[in-house]
Chains A and B, each alone.
Chain A
Amino acid sequence: MKKIKAFFKNEKLWYPFHVLSHPADGYYEIRHREMGSVPVAILLVFIYSLCFSFNRIYSSFVVNEIDERTVNALTEMIAVFMLYFLFCVGNWSITAVMGGEGRFKDILVVVGYALLPMILTTIPAIFISQGIAANEEAFYTIIITLGTAYGLFIGLIGIMTIHNFTLGKTIITLFLTFVAMFIIIFILIMITDLVSQVYNFFYSIYLELLYRT
């Protein structure tokens, strides 16, 4: 209990907001003064996935092209978390060999905290969407776009800061990160396929033995 409380200490809990206004300093302190907290980052990812689904379900149909009956918040949450971990693992595996200084938990924190602007803009955007008619969609789109753009911006700064990279190198590593993500997905699919083949092999032996007796 104490430990959990320590994770969500007041200053750590509100630190993402400090990062929001001081990205470079904030991320520097996360790397070097232990100001970040992985549980807070995961909490932010959790809230973000909720916002993501809420936006798809509750945005006014003037701006929302999605059939809300097809939205499943749980599957979307699993997808968001998988993408989050996939990106973090990919980035970590690339930066580890390219001389990045960031630890895995720093990457988790950076990416998690970078979702805060999107959380903060999505919820007002949902409310605004309820009050707009056609031709006024710009209000909604601008807010969403600003949130996403700022999120990407501080994410980029964060990756740069924790690894102590230049901007060019960061962009190269980001590109390689996506390549790594694809390789990971490929390997995962291949492993599941192979495992299922092995399983089927033994299962057919089992069936054969079962029917012989």
Chain B
Amino acid sequence: MNKRIKSIVLAAILILGIMVQDLAAFATTVPYDSYNYDYWDDIVYTPAPFIPYKSFGGDDFKLDGTSIGKFSSPQDVYVAEDGVYVCDTGNKRIVKLSLDLKSCLEIIDNAGGTAFDQPYGVYVSSQNWLYIAEKTQKCVWVLDENREVQLCIKDPKSEIIGEGFDFTPLKVSVDYANRVYVVCAGKTEGILVFDSEGNFTSFFGTISVTISVWERIWRKLSTKAQRAKQVLYIPTEFTNLDVDPDGFVYTTNIDSAGTQAVMKLNPKGQDVIRLGEKGKIAGDLSIDGSGDYAGASRIVDVVYRGHGIYTVLDQKRGRVFTYDSEGNMLYIFGGLGSQEGTFNMPVAVEELGNKIIVLDAGRNELMLFNQTEYGALIDEAVGLRYDGDEAQAVEIWKKVLKLDENYELANDGIGKAYLTAGDNAQAMKYLKLAMDKKYYSIAFRRYRNEWLKKNLGGILTGLIVLIVVIVVLKNVINKKRGKSVVKEGLL
């Protein structure tokens, strides 16, 4: 009897345990798919690299005891060392939040007495100066740490700029030498660069236009009147930018072809980004179909996250893509919707510690995403590899594989490590899983040579034995035949 009760209790506990586990799994279910693309550009679903943590509507924050009120179509966010700056465009102010996002530290709504009208972009330089791109006032305000106006960049003058140049700054970034990079509305010439005194120096990183052969033929065939009505082939505009600590400028632009929406510009203005195996850095790879939801991703913001990792934001499908320095897609998360943790009109992405902030201008919310173990492991392994510490990265890759068996980069990393260690058979196994033809072939060649070295003696001996046997057999048969011939002759 006692035993029976015990077993019943045990069974109940077991069932309960399973249910609780199910509930736990249910609780962590995220409102979006996280996936990646495999060798054939097919979608492979992955564990979530980031999960929604919390969203802030603005009225959660208090300054001097009073709520600061809801955000109104905020357009930009920047994480500085001393706080999070939100460009609250609709309320004509910059809101500085504490790094733990618990309180509001400061509200900036004017520059030396001039109230803002439409602040659109915000940036904080290393010397803690505040740079604000003002869309309607057509200038970039530079405020120092005491919020005194240090500079007002407007109306750039230069020989290469024509008369009546419309300077409408949208986004601004500053590098270590206090050079100011400004993305302007409707400017196809490139990004405007100003020196630390606010003098215009040059355009930067112009996107070249590519016209297909077909379009060229079509233009040749059309008359002048027709040509005038055709779409002009002008380069696309930049949408956003970020400067990494080494002075490389990461820029985003709208690429309707879905080939390259991110550029990494060196100080000369040349694009030095690596496009990876796919040859594309433009968000989603499967973009076929018709309707609003199809088509290339609309990359609107980029944030450099260290160790060559950068994250871009797609406004079209509300996805957040992360790439490494070699152009490999690390992970994808996010989506449009009305559920908590999904976006309506995402405009900016930033990194806060190991969390990711996405600013939504449609929902007027600042959304915070927590990194999961999966995302953290990938970042760590990629970081180690970026620093050249491949051996240490292998251990992390193995952990990643436990969470996601299909992760090609992990297989690749482990395979390459086995290759350097000299274990060619294992290297071949992992490199094949990673579909890495180049390194697989290196491993395979070594393996083949080893195998030949080991077995060449045996093969040659076997061959010689075979030849001898054949010769002997032939002789024997011939002799037999000869005998029979002789016999016949005798008969």
Evaluate contact between B441 and A131: CB separation under 8 angstroms. Answer: no
B227: interface (CB < 8 Å): no
- A81 sits at the interface (CB 8 A): no
Closest CB in chain B relative to A135 CB, distance in Å: 7
B129 at the interface (CB under 8 A from A): no
Does B216 have its Cβ within 8 Å of any Cβ on chain A? no
Rounded to whole angstroms, the CA-CA distance of A62 and B443 in the bound complex is: 12
**Chain A interface mostly helix, strand, loop or mixed?**
loop
Q: With an 8 A cutoff between CB atoms, is B102 at the interface? A: no
A134 touches B40 (CB 8 A): no
Task: Answer yes or no: B445 CB below 8 A from chain A CBs.
Answer: yes
B437 and A134 within 8 A (CB): yes
Asked if B444 lies at the interface with its beta carbon under 8 angstroms from chain A, I say yes
Residue in chain B with minimal CB distance to A133:
B441
Is the pair A134, B441 in contact by a Cβ cutoff of 8 Å?
yes
CB distance from A141 to the nearest CB of B (A): 15
**CB nearest neighbor in B for A131:** B448
CB-based contact A134/B448 at 8 Å: no
**Which of B42, B435, B440, B441 neighbours the largest number of chain A CB atoms within 10 Å of its CB?**
B441
Per the 8 Å Cβ criterion, residues 419-442 of B in contact with A are 432, 435, 437-438, 440-442
Identify A134's interface contact among B42, B432, B435, B438, CB under 8 A.
B438
Residue among A61, A133, A135 with the highest chain B CB neighbour number at 10 A? A133
| List of B residues within 8 angstroms of A134 by Cβ | 437-438, 440-441
- Chain B residues within an 8 Å CB radius of A131: 448
A208, CB-defined interface residue at 8 Å: no
Q: CB distance A133 to B40 under 8 Å?
A: no
Chain A residues numbered 124-162 whose CB sits less than 8 Å from any CB in chain B: 131, 133-135
Q: How far is the CA of A131 from the CA of B445 in the complex (A)?
A: 9
Contact code string A165-188 (vs B, CB < 8 Å = 1, else 0): 000000000000000000000000
Question: Contacts A61-B435, A61-B437, A62-B441 hold; do A133 and B448 have CB atoms under 8 A apart?
Answer: yes
Chain B minimum-CB-distance residue to A62: B437
Pair B40/A67 contact, Cβ less than 8 Å: yes
Contact between chains at B42 and A135 (CB < 8 Å): no
Across the A-B interface, the 10 shortest Cβ-Cβ residue pairs = A133-B441, A134-B441, A133-B444, A133-B445, A67-B40, A134-B437, A62-B437, A134-B438, A61-B432, A62-B441
12 example contacts (A-B, Cβ-Cβ < 8 A) are as follows: A61-B435, A61-B437, A61-B440, A62-B440, A67-B40, A131-B448, A133-B440, A133-B442, A134-B437, A134-B438, A134-B440, A135-B441
Q: Known contacts A134-B437, A134-B438; can you find 13 more A-B pairs with CB under 8 A?
A: A61-B435, A61-B437, A61-B440, A62-B437, A62-B444, A67-B39, A67-B42, A133-B442, A133-B444, A133-B448, A134-B440, A134-B441, A135-B441
